[in-house]
Structure 1
């Protein structure tokens, strides 16, 4: 009797088992000629074709090169972490962590000329970006020995200073959370422990011009939980921890909110001197079938209260903006409606939210066509201006994948270009459009 694979190893969640380089990919429509660079997306792809949880597969980055209106290349490469090459464990069972071990399976970003593959349990891994060597693994990166904690998979770059803000969590003893800041040159210049009651799964955070805000939510570490060692515990409570950027070693304000869970933040901004506005993709709890929806939290620092508002009743995850507006007021945000392991089919769509008017647009990809996260690629030098959304889309009928490009200002019009990929791209997590550096 054949045992069916676990949901996170079935269908398009199943891993691909080799690496490939291909050139001159077929295109339907017209690739915007302004797009010159790589679209990269990371995700779990266990090289042994098995893992205990979707989050626990080895990282594989899939990339498409766009240049001169053509799709000139495709590459997929495993991130060769110490765990991948040597089977090294992150935790030694005696209280010690090897942060060079891990999966590097969650995100891929660029900062200070380095392309970094990220997972929140470990150090980042640097990927090669030299022509002909793209996506090859160069090794772990600890900011010259200054980083001693893990690094979140969701760092944020300040558009004013070029600083990279991030945090680390996951220790078995305090401090359970540490805030870090690297300057525009890539030097780690600040590390500040933040006091929180316990070890929780803290996937994302918020950055504004004046503040950083951490989400201390009731998904607590429990090594007895199968797969991912975390469980929902509403008795832990939920709070937003606010720190001023200009006083990084100063007091932390803690504002209570209703118990919930948030994997991903859309954006945040200051509203005057004592108000902060946060947009999140919010789950009512963790680990159940309930989907996430778009919510707005308005923090009143003078009263120490938070107004919590649901903005939409449609499923949405993987929220993104034009990252040049990170931490500033932004009118538009984008999110994906798709499926998770074992959730059953959900119509695959992209959503565009007008955060000023409350209006929205939607593009449905059609039966059996499921998009992933859509990264924003700007069309010009104007933050918040025109641009394109890039996403990998899986077609269940043919078991193939495409890179689909849509005009961000007219997503309902459908793709401006579709690039047929030479292999299926399994569902994954996060990525970015990385344009070639200006000469």
Structure 2
């Protein structure tokens, strides 16, 4: 068998080249400022990194193996660790010393030797609930990870109570009850329109399950949860078995379809769902959501067309970057109005961006502070492309404050960390991993959340690249002390 050779394509060269290294690094170098000594906890992230050259010759990053990373903060020091998630897929390919799984979420393209084996990658998010750390991707159950060693502990189906074949990588957490609210789409298998909605109590036991049928099969990547409602955004990034059998990409943008918001009371049943319909548009991640008992508000970046250039447009239209610009907007639903009344949309900022986050202590509740990665700021022309700014939004004043990460930089999802246990909303720090594309390595910026435009509180320099990644979360030392056995 020949040694691995990756394709000479943009997805596998330069800064995008697979890392393929599991690392341990004590005391990441601090090259500017000082790491706040009172920060005591761990920033967990997960990235997508192909361990083997793609089976079909080229691939997209979404199809990369999950690698969990930890940045442990203690007494002004930061230690770094990274480990691949040993999913069933990863283990099978490591044994074969080659890729066995084909195109993104298309089992028809796999090597026959892995027929029926779980294809999950655990490469989208890493989160904590009931003393357990999970790595997750929305096509399979989450995978438990040891929070100290990052060792893979195995898939978790909540003691068999997870009946869906899939589980979101974007669960929501109710700060008043400690419940985790989550769901699975394509819950009966790839390209099915089924949604399974769950709530788990503070001890991790599933206490509610409801199954719904969406208006059509699509990517339901994120959803919104408030004190009284859950909201399932069905956006026309559609899927079909026929496309998979033809070897075409799993998802495609359908500009002829409308958007639906499936609104369901918390712990409601299928008979209670109401589908509020509006014209075609694209959205992916939720910054925050809340309700006043009647009116429901969901904040999300919205664009005219799909953000993803590797998923085709069913109309045949070419990819148009101007139409994919996402602007943070507020969707408002009158839950006492008939579904055919739709919902309203109000733009909240003229900064284009994605990966929105909030002060997670206010999830499901009214909030005013949020942050996101930005790729266009009015009046600023900078070298390079992609996400180069961190943008903080104050919904009380409408002001957006930005921090420019540098020329030819790549800003990952920013994350909020409270300054202390009793910190006010938005009082704390923003952590942002930044790729230095021309230097082929990465930094970690620590910004003052109340003034992200100021010079960083600290800049940590990694001697290596941190690969393309999506999401992560902060766990305080106090939370980690309550880990489950």
Normalised to the residue count of structure 1, the TM-score between the two structures is: 0.91
- Displacement of 1:184: 0.7
Tell me the equivalent position of 1:309: 346
- Displacement of 1:380: 2.1
Matched, 1:86 2:92: yes
CA distance in 1, matches of 2:212, 2:251: 20
Matched, 1:113 2:117: no
Residue of structure 1 aligned with 2:427, choices 357, 373, 386: 386
Q: Structure 2 matches for 1:269-280, cutoff 5 A? A: 269-270=290-291, 272-280=292-300
CA distance in 1, matches of 2:452, 2:426: 15
Q: Judging changes above 3 Å, is the alpha-carbon distance between structure 1 residues 165 and 227 closer, same or farther for their aligned structure 2 residues?
A: farther
- Displacement of 1:414: 2.2
Corresponding residue pairs, total: 429
Q: Residues 62 and 425 of structure 1 are in contact (CA less than 8 Å); yes or no, is this contact kept in structure 2?
A: no
CA distance in 2, matches of 1:174, 1:105: 22
CA distance in 2, matches of 1:241, 1:336: 27
CA distance in 1, matches of 2:191, 2:405: 46
Q: What is the DSSP-based 3-state SS (H/G/I as helix, E as strand, rest coil) of the residue aligned with 2:21? A: coil
- Displacement of 1:173: 7.1
Q: Structure 2 matches for 1:220-369, cutoff 5 A? A: 220-223=238-241, 224=243, 228-248=249-269, 250-270=271-291, 272-286=292-306, 287=308, 288=319, 289=321, 290-304=324-338, 305=341, 306-338=343-375, 345-346=385-386, 348-369=388-409
Matched, 1:404 2:445: yes
CA distance in 2, matches of 1:77, 1:308: 41
Matched, 1:416 2:457: yes
Q: Residues 125 and 169 of structure 2 are in contact (CA less than 8 Å); yes or no, is this contact kept in structure 1?
A: yes
Q: Judging changes above 3 Å, is the alpha-carbon distance between structure 1 residues 12 and 84 closer, same or farther for their aligned structure 2 residues?
A: same
- Displacement of 1:195: 1.9
Gaps of 5+ in 2: 94-99, 309-318, 377-383
- Displacement of 1:228: 4.2
Q: What is the DSSP-based 3-state SS (H/G/I as helix, E as strand, rest coil) of the residue aligned with 1:316? A: strand
CA distance in 1, matches of 2:12, 2:297: 38
Normalised to the residue count of structure 2, the TM-score between the two structures is: 0.83
Q: What is the DSSP-based 3-state SS (H/G/I as helix, E as strand, rest coil) of the residue aligned with 1:63? A: strand
Over the aligned positions, Cα root-mean-square deviation in angstroms equals 2.5
Q: Judging changes above 3 Å, is the alpha-carbon distance between structure 1 residues 273 and 99 closer, same or farther for their aligned structure 2 residues?
A: farther
Q: Residues 41 and 477 of structure 2 are in contact (CA less than 8 Å); yes or no, is this contact kept in structure 1?
A: yes
Matched, 1:426 2:433: no
Q: Residues 387 and 411 of structure 2 are in contact (CA less than 8 Å); yes or no, is this contact kept in structure 1?
A: no
Tell me the equivalent position of 2:59: 52
Q: Residues 17 and 49 of structure 1 are in contact (CA less than 8 Å); yes or no, is this contact kept in structure 2?
A: no
- Displacement of 1:248: 4.3
Matched, 1:16 2:19: yes
Q: Residues 264 and 281 of structure 1 are in contact (CA less than 8 Å); yes or no, is this contact kept in structure 2?
A: yes
Tell me the equivalent position of 1:144: 159
Q: What is the DSSP-based 3-state SS (H/G/I as helix, E as strand, rest coil) of the residue aligned with 1:142? A: coil
Matched, 1:62 2:103: no
1:134-191 deviation line (CA, Å, top 9, x unaligned): x111111111111122110100011111111111012257561111111110111222
Residue of structure 1 aligned with 2:175, choices 148, 156, 159: 159
Say which is worse superposed, 381-390 or 414-423, in terms of deviation. Answer: 381-390
- Displacement of 1:5: 3.4
